[in-house]
A and B are shown apart, each in its own frame.
Chain A
Amino acid sequence: MSERSSRIASVVLALVGVGITGYMLVTRATGATLSCSSGGCETVQSSPYSEVFGVPVAALGLGACAFVLGAALAKGEIARLTGAVVALAAFAFSLYLLVVQVIVIDALCDWCLATDAVTTALAALALLRLRAAARFAACSDPGRVRVTAWERP
């Protein structure tokens, strides 16, 4: 996958993530009930793990998706690096929250699982973007190619 393709896919997925986390945040703020097929959404949302020192986890997810969206739209190494840091951290944190849902809370929230899927895909795309950029750097730097060739057995 080229860097351009991974950026386009990241933009689409990050927008989906913004939509999901935005819905969760608005629902929480207005006191409405999440549309939920598993019935575990309210249990998870009212658990002590739904906030990190007063900040709703959905707000953190919204912030992460918005950041990754911005990084995917921007060009350059800084955008690639910071986007990857946030996407990978979001993936690790969502993995932790999934473990908490299964082991501690004993309930699963549909919207949290959807967010987990989005963050997992965003983390994979961030890694692909880094890899694509590394390949491009190798091709555009003759000295680097030579060094690589010399190191081959």
Chain B
Amino acid sequence: MTARRVLLVLIGAAALSVGLIATSQLGARDRDEAPSARATHSSLAGIPQQGNVLGDPDAPVTLVEYADLQCPYCAEWAVRTFPVLVDNYVRTGKLRVVFHGLAFIGADSDVALRTALAAGRDGRFWDVVAGFYLRQGAENAGWVTDEVVDGVLADVGLNRDRVRKARDEPWVSSELRTAQAAADGAGVHGTPSFQLGRTGGPLELLHLTSLGPEGMTPAIDALLRP
């Protein structure tokens, strides 16, 4: 083993590591620049949306989510677990998800939820919900500004004037009341809360032990077993 070969080893290792580090830095910068829009669109692209319902209407299992867009635990669940459910169950036609939005935390919850419901008319309810979760600020800090709303709507390609106008229409208020009545009927006392069951059958309130996927997937898998 000559000194020249040892030098070649060191040069090779240095070149390989510098290449990896440069690639890592470039990739991280790219993802920092536009994480929200890319993440949202890639996870929901191609999945049917009908208002606040996501997934195949004939999916064998239904999950009902009760959430407030200002609730930090709801956002954590949306970031950690929801994409896993979408990829493994919704996209494969095994699960449909119904979102009942509640606005009990404050005014920011109401504005964000009305925006999402109005976007639901254009089949973008879930994209807008994801957009608000990704931009979530401190509770009742006034973070749902016009600028934030416009940013969320621009990410999903919706006309902001049309959506803003629609969010004050009576049918949106009616949807809010329907969601609240569903939560009351289900015995929901906090968010996020979930009901799960076979589609068309009775739904049971879940008692989560974790906000991660492992807190929910066993129950879904059990329902999917023949």
Q: Which of B21, B23, B29: most chain A Cβ within 10 A? A: B21
Of the listed stretches A5-13, A18-26, A86-94, A106-114, name the one at the interface; the rest are far from the partner chain: A86-94
Interface size class of B (residues with CB under 8 A): 35 or more
Q: Which of B13, B21, B210, B217: most chain A Cβ within 10 A? A: B13
Verify B1–A88 contact, CB threshold 8 A: no
Main secondary structure of the interface of A (DSSP, over half): helix
Tell whether A89 pairs with B13 under 8 Å between CB atoms, given A32-B213, A52-B27.
yes
Verify B17–A130 contact, CB threshold 8 A: no
Tell me the minimal C-beta distance from B21 to chain A in angstroms: 5
Chain A residue nearest to B212 (CB atoms) is A33
Inter-chain contacts of B14 with A (CB < 8 A): 89, 92
The CA of A151 and the CA of B17, in the complex, are separated in Å by 36
Please pick, from A33, A48, A54, the residue contacting B28 in the complex, using a CB distance under 8 A: A48
Tell me the minimal C-beta distance from A48 to chain B in angstroms: 4
Main secondary structure of the interface of B (DSSP, over half): helix
Say yes or no for A133: interface residue by CB 8 A criterion.
yes
Tell me the minimal C-beta distance from B130 to chain A in angstroms: 15
Inter-chain contacts of A53 with B (CB < 8 A): 23, 26-27
Verify A84–B13 contact, CB threshold 8 A: yes
Verify B27–A42 contact, CB threshold 8 A: no
Residues of B1-31 whose CB lies within 8 A of A: 1-2, 5-6, 8-10, 12-14, 16-17, 20-21, 23-24, 26-29, 31
**Quick one: CB contact mask for A59-76 with B, threshold 8 Å, 1 for yes?**
010000000000000000
Say yes or no for B32: interface residue by CB 8 A criterion.
yes
Verify A49–B84 contact, CB threshold 8 A: no
Q: List 10 A-B contacts (CB under 8 A).
A: A31-B87, A33-B212, A33-B213, A51-B27, A54-B27, A81-B5, A85-B16, A92-B17, A92-B21, A134-B1
Q: Ordered nearest first, which 9 A-B pairs have the shortest CB separation? A: A88-B13, A92-B17, A31-B84, A89-B16, A134-B1, A48-B28, A85-B12, A48-B31, A31-B213
